[in-house]
Structure 1
């Protein structure tokens, strides 16, 4: 059960991040600028995590150093402002489907970076190493199949006839003459959009590596997450102000914009980042990244139930490959842990056999007699010399 806690934590994280994608789409249909939503996301996260970190860890927290502050700034830049804004910019130049597919490169990029930074061993000649590599490729392939291949329509449950995105878009068009800015503000450019999305995936994977380093330097999850969110909030707010200073875009009312900002900030970037940092510290950055394709499975189900999207055969087949890939990586890491930890129970459930060898020592010889000592003593000339 202790080993299953990081697995359960990462499953909960992916469910929460799937909800972020749903709220992103609802906020876009309401005409909100996504750069502003990213800024609000980390502002709300900082407002929640800062007092929580102060009261929970004030007695055991050590003094902050400039090294920890610098690592927090870089983590906020890579995993927060850069990764999110590059993803949004790439989605503007391509499509939401293409950008979602590009995020499945994160496990492969994280695997390469983890090997380069020596957080993971390649060990391609061993069975656990081959299982980790095959599982990573299976997860990426399943996510690509889920995104790009539709196939026949599959009906797993009766249609709900609920389409929140269409309702919000109709309400926005009727109340305002402005069009949503996400899809129509720039001309499509697949090459540049692919480059931007790949950059976002690279910085997110780099953030997972840096997060593992930050947890070693300063092992206080609430404090490090609060610092990272504060850095991301300042960076994202400055970036959004450079492009949009319209007060109407920055105003929040009791609508889907406020709900999206609260959900993405408090739950996704607040509570879930604490859980994610804990999982990275316990099992490593590769373990956290291989769960990323699971988000697409949850998004496909929620989109079918809430956004009126159809579920196709490609989604089902992709989900099967993703689950197989996750199991292969987890099995490989468990076998590695079992082989390196000789004091624990092996993967087969057997207690390791220990051979105890007892050596019989001969009794000590009797002390020499005075005559033997006189014979063994060196001559006087040798002592003088």
Structure 2
């Protein structure tokens, strides 16, 4: 299936699924949508959905699902660096928690370099897999696929940062999810029409194509984006992206047993290095939050003394 058609359809499904929830549950809590705010949501939809996902799924044609999700583990590091530059994230290299975040970022980037520069011996694909990918496009150009997925990671990181900024102005997560999906679907549709003129590409067969669109639209474009927005509002964009390494292990396992993909030693080693680095960052950030909470709580010496009022006889 054409990846750009797939991206368009999944956002249409995501917008349709989230619309009734946003309309009824946030009718009174939804802020007024100004032109400036609409343009901000337009840019978010472009960076997080239409542009990013079109590059992301196009890269799957030239590499593999396990490789793409492994490179996507750079998103937490990139998000962290952008947040530090914009002063949305604290970094103090004079204490262990700051060193852990900086060291973890460097280790995760070293893991990415390992994955892209060293393949290593291949582990034989699982012969009983339900499907075996045998497309002419798969593994055709690792260089082109790598450029596409790295570019998508950069735009995705900026998307997470912008989520935190936009949620302060538009805190209605259900409505924001609906807007992002609808605008992202329109943007992707325009892009797809320009590069794909055949009507046959838009046809959906009632098999894996249909169910992939339904799953991606409902779960990924609908429920997942809403949960990410809610978590971003509660904990910030860096915290949300720290859990993306879990996808690497899950996709590698599912890709091996279901899609019959080969596992390479270099990919496994690189993924392990990435996960170690990213959870160093997560440890440092957790210590940061505990430190800031302890500073906000007044000590016993800072507490105001209670005034005692008694009668003259008591005094």
TM superposition score normalised by structure 1:
0.69
What residue in structure 2 maps to residue 256 of structure 1?
A: 208
Aligned: 1:355 with 2:310: no
Aligned to 2:19: 50
Decide whether aligned partners of structure 1 residues 95 and 317 sit closer, same or farther in structure 2, where only a CA change above 3 A counts: closer
Pair 1:35-2:37 in alignment: no
- 1:122 Cα deviation after fit: 2.3
Asked if 1:220 corresponds to 2:155, the answer is: no
User: Which of these residues, 89, 98, 101, is aligned with residue 132 of structure 1?
Assistant: 101
SS at match of 1:46: helix
Could you list the per-position Cα deviations for residues 28-86 of structure 1 after superposition, in whole angstroms to 9, with x for gaps in the alignment? xxxx1111001111111111111111112113222222232112111100001111122
Q: How does 1:308-319 map to 2 (within 5 A)?
A: 308-311=260-263, 313-314=265-266, 317-319=269-271
**Residues matched between the structures, number:** 303
> How has the CA–CA distance of structure 1 residues 313 and 354 changed in structure 2, closer, same or farther, with 3 Å as cutoff?
farther
List alignment gaps of at least 5 residues for structure 2: 306-315
Q: 1:173 aligns to what?
A: none
1:238-317 to 2 correspondences below 5 Å: 238-311=190-263, 313-314=265-266, 317=269
Q: Does the 8 Å contact 1:75/1:207 carry over to 2?
A: yes
Q: What is the rounded CA distance, in whole Å, between the counterparts of 1:356 and 1:144 in structure 2?
A: 50
Q: Offset at 1:210?
A: 0.6
Deviation sequence 1:278-333 (CA, Å, 0-9, x none): 12222222222232233111111111221223455555544543443343222211
1:121 aligns with 2:90: yes
Larger Rg: 1
State whether structure 2 residue 277 is matched by structure 1 residue 325: yes
CA distance in 2, matches of 1:141, 1:163: 34
Contact 2:69–2:251 (CA under 8 A) maintained in structure 1: no
CA distance 1:86–1:105, shift in 2 (3 Å): same
Deviations 1:90-147 (A, max 9, x none): 555x533665554333223212211122111222222211111222333344455467
Secondary structure of the 2:13 match is helix
Change (3 A) 1:207 1:181: farther
CA RMSD of aligned residues (A): 3.1
1:225-257 CA-to-partner distances (Å, cap 9, x unmatched) read: 111111100000111111223232211232111
Of 126, 130, 145, which residue of structure 2 is paired with 1:163?
A: 130
CA distance in 2, matches of 1:85, 1:269: 14
What does residue 377 of structure 1 align with?
Answer: none
Q: Which runs of 5+ in 1 are unaligned?
A: 1-31, 170-179, 346-351, 360-385
1:149-170: per-residue Cα shift (whole Å, max 9, x none)? Answer: 4447499xxx67123135xx6x
Give distance in 2, aligned partners of 1:146 and 1:53.
41
Q: CA deviation at 1:344?
A: 7.6
